[in-house]
Amino acid sequence: MKQLLRVGLILLVLLLLLQPISFPITKATTSFVRTEANATDSPVIGQRIIPWRFAVYDEPNLRTPVRGTFAPQTVDIVQQQDDGWALIRTWRGNFWVYVRDNLRFLNQSVTLFEQIGGRPIGTMQSQLVRILNQDGNWAQISTWLGPRWINLQGTSVPDSQIPKQPPVIPPTTGQTGTHFMAWRFITYLEPDFRAMKQDFYDPQMVDILQQREDGWAEITTWRGNRWIYTNANRRFIEREVALHETARGPAVATLSPQVVRVLDQDGDWFLVSTWLGSRWVFLGQGVAPGTRQIAITFDDGPHPIHTARLLDALAARDVPATFYVLGSQVNAHPELAVRIVREGHEIANHSFSHPLLTRLSAAGIRTELARTRDAIFQATGVTSTTFRPPYGAQNATVRNVAAEFGYPIVLWSVDTRDWESRNVNAILSHFVDRNGNIRIRDRDIILMHDIHPATIDAAIRAVDLLLAAGFTFVTVQDLLGPQFGGTVHNRG
Ligand code: NI
């Protein structure tokens, strides 16, 4: 029975995860780029509104890793340099932001155009761009492919109308005869990028019939003869990938599918030229390190000692978590609820007094949810948007009442059973097996309880382990997508 319940819970969370997370990118009407008018053009110390989403750095240097991005807000400028860098005070310490010049962080993907009002030629993922020119709602930005135009008011262009970038592949010493193509490649009917694209092939031996000086080679395939392009250090990256400062290092940004110039290679890692300078991408089989997203969740708090210690550790690592709090605990420790919200975590509803809700009437469940929703709002001014029933226990009444509140029910995919063992190694065994293999998978939701000291110790070690393995931590809302109030980080 217990096993059945467990399987049921996992199925439910899988169902939740399989909800329409992929959604069309809205290119409509949102004004996602601000004009230069309010930029801090002159050196000023004191309070200033930065009206766009901005990135912060440890040093006044765009080549150093981005330490985080912040929503538009008022900042305290401590120091302003002539070169456009300003040191600002944040709750995590002082950081540098670049406030001059026409650098903008585009907070959603945009359509690229050759000319103003012209044909759409591609899309570019959310990233930092340099604005070269502006003409009304149109801005010319610098991209690796050269200057391209974007519409600042957003444009509604169906993806199907956007031609794919011409796929190209890195150089080979390809000659007539059998040759090993060491990367994924595309075949064409004609030696011309505009010719109809045929098929993608995994790395394999090919038979080259003729190799032309311009880089095109004719090969035999089981479907007939096809052309492939074998020249130049260019490569079409067909999926969104994470950019890394160093091979195997932490991810610092994402790159949308596009043609890149390959500068260097180290195993499955490639140094490619991007607008921000050269960055490493992982192009091997399987999941690219840094693109796996997981949500770590903590139930039953906040606890005055353990939650506080956990928050310190998460802040030091810049890792967001989701806290399924009890309303009774929020009322007892509102300052911790404030910290949770202020430090960028998600706060969510876990009932008021942790009863088995399946034993309560609809009215009783309603009271539990309402008191916690109100406690969270009173303490933080934030409306919680998801709900996790105590013990994961639910029935039709629980689900109906949750729906009244607009709460999706969020369970978990990894249960660390920390409340049971209260033992660091036992808890860690749910993250990594005896051979040191990570047991966490992409899009896992991890269940822990920030009311036991061993949980905090284990959580800190697990977070370090998962960060080193290239996982990215997001809140539950961000993992599940916009219908849960989150921001979607990836297309599809
Ligand atoms: Ni609980």
How is 278-330 classified by DSSP, letter by letter?
EEEEE-SSSPPTT-EEEEEEEES---TTHHHHHHHHHHHHT---EEEE-HHHH
Q: How many other CB atoms are found less than 10 A from the CB of residue 132?
A: 13
pLDDT at position 18 is 35
Q: If we measure between CA atoms, which residue out of 147, 102, 150 comes closest to residue 125?
A: 150
- Judge contact between 315 and 289, C-beta under 8 A: no
d(CA 326, CA 354): 7
Helix segments in 392-452, DSSP class H = 396-404, 418-421, 424-428
Is residue 82 part of the annotated active site? The answer reads no
d(CA 410, CA 10): 11
What CATH fold (topology level) applies to the domain 234-282?
SH3 type barrels. (2.30.30)
- Cα 204 versus chain centre, distance: 33
pLDDT at position 146 is 65
d(CA 295, CA 392): 17
Q: How many other CB atoms are found less than 10 A from the CB of residue 478?
A: 21
- Judge contact between 301 and 450, C-beta under 8 A: yes
d(CA 489, CA 90): 24
d(CA 338, CA 207): 65
Compute, in angstroms, the gap from residue 368 CA to the centroid of ligand 1.
13
Contacts of residue 19, Cβ cutoff 8 Å, sequence gap at least 6: 480, 481, 483
- Range 293-488: architecture per CATH: Alpha-Beta Barrel (3.20)
pLDDT at position 3 is 53
Compute, in angstroms, the gap from residue 393 CA to the centroid of ligand 1.
10
- Range 23-101: architecture per CATH: Roll (2.30)
Q: In a 3-state reduction of DSSP, which class is residue 417?
A: coil
Whether the upstream peptide bond of residue 302 has omega within 30° of 0, thus cis, is yes
d(CA 492, CA 473): 18
Q: Which pTM does this prediction carry?
A: 0.47
pLDDT at position 328 is 97
- Judge contact between 478 and 448, C-beta under 8 A: no
Instruction: Give, for all 492 residues of the chain, the pLDDT tens digit.
Output: 445 455 444 444 443 333 322 222 222 222 222 223 333 334 456 666 665 567 788 888 766 777 776 666 677 888 887 777 889 887 678 888 877 556 666 666 677 788 887 777 666 666 667 777 777 778 888 765 567 888 876 544 444 444 443 333 333 444 566 666 655 667 888 887 667 777 767 656 677 888 777 778 888 877 788 888 775 456 667 667 778 877 776 666 777 776 677 777 777 888 887 766 678 888 876 555 546 789 999 999 999 999 999 999 999 988 999 999 999 999 999 999 999 999 989 999 999 999 999 999 999 999 999 999 999 999 999 888 899 999 999 999 999 999 999 898 999 999 999 999 999 999 999 999 888 889 998 889 999 999 999 999 999 999 999 988 878 898 998 887 655 544 433 322
- Cα 202 versus chain centre, distance: 27
**Residue among 179, 303, 306, 449 flagged as catalytic:** 449
Residue 86 phi, psi (nearest 5): -130, 140
Structure tokens at 318: 């810049």
- Judge contact between 390 and 351, C-beta under 8 A: yes
- Judge contact between 361 and 398, C-beta under 8 A: no
Structure tokens at 434: 């005896």
- Judge contact between 254 and 127, C-beta under 8 A: yes
Compute, in angstroms, the gap from residue 302 CA to the centroid of ligand 1.
11
pLDDT at position 374 is 96
Would the CATH topology of 177-229 be identical to that of 234-282? yes
Is residue 299 part of the annotated active site? The answer reads yes
Compute, in angstroms, the gap from residue 92 CA to the centroid of ligand 1.
29
- Judge contact between 177 and 171, C-beta under 8 A: no
The residue ranges of DSSP E strands in 1-153, in sequence order, are 46-50, 54-57, 66-70, 73-80, 85-90, 93-98, 103-105, 110-113, 120-124, 128-135, 138-143, 146-151
Structure tokens at 417: 């059973």
DSSP type of residue 421: H
Compute, in angstroms, the gap from residue 422 CA to the centroid of ligand 1.
15
How is the chain split into domains, by residue range? 23-101, 104-161, 177-229, 234-282, 293-488
Compute, in angstroms, the gap from residue 353 CA to the centroid of ligand 1.
10
**Residue among 179, 244, 299, 450 flagged as catalytic:** 299
Contacts of residue 338, Cβ cutoff 8 Å, sequence gap at least 6: 379, 380
Compute, in angstroms, the gap from residue 452 CA to the centroid of ligand 1.
12
pLDDT at position 321 is 96
Cα–Cα–Cα angle for 329, 335, 338, rounded to 5 degrees:
100
Compute, in angstroms, the gap from residue 354 CA to the centroid of ligand 1.
6
Q: Which CATH class is domain 104-161?
A: mainly beta
pLDDT at position 188 is 85
Compute, in angstroms, the gap from residue 342 CA to the centroid of ligand 1.
23
Compute, in angstroms, the gap from residue 20 CA to the centroid of ligand 1.
27
What CATH fold (topology level) applies to the domain 177-229?
SH3 type barrels. (2.30.30)
